[in-house]
Amino acid sequence: MYLREIRIVNDGPNEDVSISLPLGDQGTPKPLVVVGENGSGKSNLLSIIADALVEGAAQHHSDVVPRSGGTDRPWMRIVGGTTLRRGTQGGFALLHFTHDNGPLIYAEKAGHYPTTDLPMDLTPELKEGATWSDAGPAKTFKLSEEQSRQIYSSGCYAFFPASRSEVPHWLNGESLPSKPFSTAVRFSGRLGKPLYVEQGIESLSQWIPGLIMDSRPTVARAPGPPNSNQWTLTSTSFQMHLSSRELADRVLRVILDDPEAGFVWVNRFTGLEYFSPKAAARLPLAALSSGQATLLSIFGTILRQCDAASNGDPTSASGICVIDEIDAHVHVDLTYRAIPELMAMFTGIQFITSAHSPLLVLGMQSKFGDDHMLVTEMPFGRSVTAEGYREFKNALDVLRSTQGFDSLVIERLNSQSSPLILCEGETDPKYIETAMELLGEGAILSGITTDWIGMRSKSTGGSIGAGKDNLHRAWQLLTANPELTGRPVMLLYDNDAKKPDVDEGRISVRTLPTNPENVYVRNGIENLLTPNVFLPDMFSEHTHDDGNGKTVTIRELNKSALCARLCDERRDASNFLGFNAVVEIIREWRERLGLDAKPASSADSERPTGDPEVGTEPAER
């Protein structure tokens, strides 16, 4: 059973919402992500779908909702009152499901809304389901008992509300009652699995050991001498459970981002654990972070239901899973990388989720492509594309670089033992090395490595993690943890940082001087260049229109092109006179470190004449 169409009028914050959910080319469902601001009706929409799933299951199964006696039972979702749009007299919700190519209609009506007032553009299938009387609230799901039994026993249907949570790792487990393996007997007319799932780790910790044991071969000692080490298989039924166990391990591997992780059940004394080579130890499930536990609860529960519905082939199961705020408690990396990957494991499941993070939409697009996913923006139910969220992918790159910043700095520090000069920008090391060579001071960098603090983005190719803020972050890291490196490090800031000289242990801070003659670039290492190098072809211009009759022309220096011209194509020492001040900075640092610097007088005759503080006029512009 799959959901194909939604129409909601005057329900909660939603005035009129119409959503179509087409299937893919092979009849497989497309995941739907519902986005929008707080209060736009995302959870309201998902609660209606969840209520339909409960109503459908309750047509046959007696354990879905509690019964007060006889055939009376409460509705999961309130009709009217707080769910009716404020200021209106009535509203409705119509959902069009399909099963075996036939329509199944869920209908809910609140307040005063006669069928004669239905919207003219309502589809024929939905019109057939709108058969309520105007007296009082109404709720129906035109599903026979046999259809209910067949659909829910052979598929995975679950609702994961935003209120879901797992037992925190710090809670003393002995303070809670223990539960053995599930030994519940399946009775006719009972679903035997939850539709409303707030917690899942505890039940998974009971189910997975059974899955592991089912997937182990059964052996007996072979006929022969009493002490023989010969064994024989007594059953091959374990093979039918291998795919479910392998999928359980795959779910864990995606969550941990570890291709070798897996669940472990050594014996009844140690209990269920998981193994991750990254952790180099077996750990209890309580060791998972809250975000990891949340995803394991959701997708482990889905796997468990798919396994039961498909008799050992979980990837073939179909169904609908509604997940409110799927990114709640989940780190951005898990949101972008893991959630789409986990959804893709269950191709027959129709995932209907809400999310606040734009990174989920981008991750879904990266995994499924625009044609194989749906994004709806509330409160109006408009279909949107992932293109509008592109800027957040760049933000994710920056965030990832920030989180991996400490590791990156430590890696660079430990890659060599020579003294290191770390600069702000990508072109800074090239300028310094070229200037030292052309000014006859190449020996001053002997035994010294120059590098920049940033890195190149793999996705955009742009520079990330550069600048004075990241250089300062490196300063904080190294001064707080001096044991991280045994090599001397100079953090060389651009002139606009205005950092005072500092020497603390192996770590030094220096700031480039300012060249007042350069009026074209006042900040950055390019300020040390002579003004005549800033020719018009080194600049690009673009115009910004603010939409109110005001346009602004922005002129930008192409820093990479300028560096390539001066350092590779037109190498002229006179362009680098301002770098004589950098020579003195490095010479002083070498002396402090006790390195054998080149004598100061040996290069005087080689140094071009001219005042390092005075440049030439720029060429005709």
d(CA 240, CA 215): 8
Distance CA 378, CA 373 (A): 17
Q: What is the mean pLDDT of residues 439-447?
A: 93
Residues 6+ apart with CB under 8 A from 473: 405
Give the domain range for residue 493: 404-603
Q: Which pLDDT does position 542 carry in this prediction? A: 81
Q: Are residues 40 and 58 in the same domain?
A: yes
**Domain shared by 524 and 384, yes or no:** no
Domain-located, residue 614: no
Higher per-residue confidence, 165 vs 130: 130
**285 occurs within a structural domain:** yes
The rounded mean pLDDT for the chain is: 81
**Whether residue 436 is found in the same domain as residue 507:** yes
For residue 297, count CB atoms less than 10 angstroms from its CB and return exposed for 0-12, middle for 13-18, buried for 19 or more.
Answer: buried
Tell me the pLDDT band of 87, cut-offs 50, 70 and 90: confident
21: pLDDT confidence band, cut at 50, 70 and 90? very high
Q: Establish if 32 belongs to a structural domain.
A: yes
> What is the band of 608 on the pLDDT scale with cuts at 50, 70, 90?
very low
23 touches 29 (CB < 8 A):
yes
Cα separation of the two ends of the chain: 71
Based on the domain organization, do 259 and 391 belong to the same domain?
A: yes
Q: Which residues neighbour 406 within 8 Å (Cβ) at sequence distance 6 or greater?
A: 477
Rounded to whole angstroms, the Cα distance separating 311 from 155 reads 11
φ, ψ (nearest 5 deg) of residue 423: -110, 170
Give Cβ neighbours of residue 165 (< 8 Å, ≥ 6 apart): 198, 199, 329
Q: Which residue has the tokens 């399909």?
A: 98
Residues 382 and 445 in one domain: no
Two tokens, residue 279: 């952790």
Tell me, yes or no, whether 204 lies in a domain: yes
Do both 411 and 351 map to the same domain? no
Q: Is 227 exposed, middle or buried (0-12, 13-18, 19+ CB in 10 A)?
A: exposed
Q: Which pLDDT score is estimated for 400?
A: 55
Instruction: Tell whether pTM > 0.85.
Output: no
pLDDT band at 552; cut points 50, 70, 90? confident
When computed from its CA atoms, the radius of gyration of the chain, rounded to whole angstroms, is 33
Residue type, position 610, single letter? G
Condensed to tens digits (0 to 9), the pLDDT of residues 556-566 reads 889 999 999 99
Show the CA angle centred on residue 338, arms to residues 163 and 203, nearest 5°: 50
Q: For the chain, how many structural domains are there in total?
A: 2
592-604 burial by CB neighbour count: b if 16+ within 10 A, else e? eeebebbeeeebe
Task: Compute the average pLDDT of residues 485-504.
Answer: 91
> Do the domain assignments include residue 611?
no
430 and 337 share one domain: no
What is the band of 315 on the pLDDT scale with cuts at 50, 70, 90?
confident
Under the banding of pLDDT at 50, 70 and 90, the label for residue 619 is: very low
- Across the range 507-522, mean pLDDT stands at 93
Residues 366 and 412 occupy one common structural domain? no
Maximum average pLDDT range among 343-352, 397-406, 485-494: 343-352
Q: Does 35 reside within a domain? A: yes
Task: Report d(CA 585, CA 266) in Å as an integer.
Answer: 62
Residue 612 lies in a domain: no
- Both 483 and 598 in one domain: the answer is yes
* pLDDT (tens digit per residue) in 148-195: 999 988 899 999 988 876 655 555 555 444 443 343 444 445 566 778
pLDDT band, residue 258 (cuts 50/70/90): confident
> Tell me, what's the pLDDT at 301?
92
Which pLDDT band, with edges at 50, 70 and 90, does 66 fall under? low
d(CA 136, CA 114): 11
Cα–Cα distance for residue pair 3/56, rounded to 1 Å: 12
Query: Which residue from 127, 157, 146, 123 is spatially nearest to 1, judged by alpha carbons?
Result: 157
Q: Which region among 35-39, 49-53, 387-391 has the lowest average model confidence (pLDDT)? A: 387-391
- Higher-pLDDT residue of 500 and 170 is 500
Q: Give the pLDDT confidence score for residue 200 in this predicted structure.
A: 78
Q: Among 367, 396, 425, where does a domain finish?
A: 396
Residue 610: left if φ>0, alpha if ψ -120 to 50, beta else—which one? left
Q: Which tokens in the block code for residue 184?
A: 């519940």
The pLDDT of residue 492 is above 80: yes
- 64 lies in the same domain as 204: yes
pLDDT band at 495 (very low <50, low <70, confident <90, very high): very high
For range 345-365, the mean pLDDT: 89
Pair 350, 459 in one domain: no
For residue 98, the one-letter residue type is: T
Question: What are the pLDDT digits (tens) for 241-256?
Answer: 677 888 889 999 999 8
Task: Say yes or no to pLDDT of 607 above 60.
Answer: no
On the question of pLDDT at 488 being above 70, the answer is yes
Across-strand partners of 354? Answer: 34
CB contact at 8 A, 572 and 438:
yes
> Residue 225 domain-assigned?
no
pLDDT for 67 beyond 90: no
How many Å apart are CA 460 and CA 361, to the nearest integer?
18
Q: What is the CATH number of the domain that holds 328?
A: 3.40.50.300
Q: Which of 93-107, 182-196, 275-289 has the highest mean pLDDT?
A: 93-107
560 and 454 share a domain? yes
Q: Are 441 and 583 in contact (CB under 8 A)?
A: yes
Say which residue, 541 or 558, is predicted with more confidence: 558
Residue spans of alpha helices (H) in 59-144: 124-129
In degrees and rounded to multiples of 5, residue 57 shows phi and psi of -65, -35
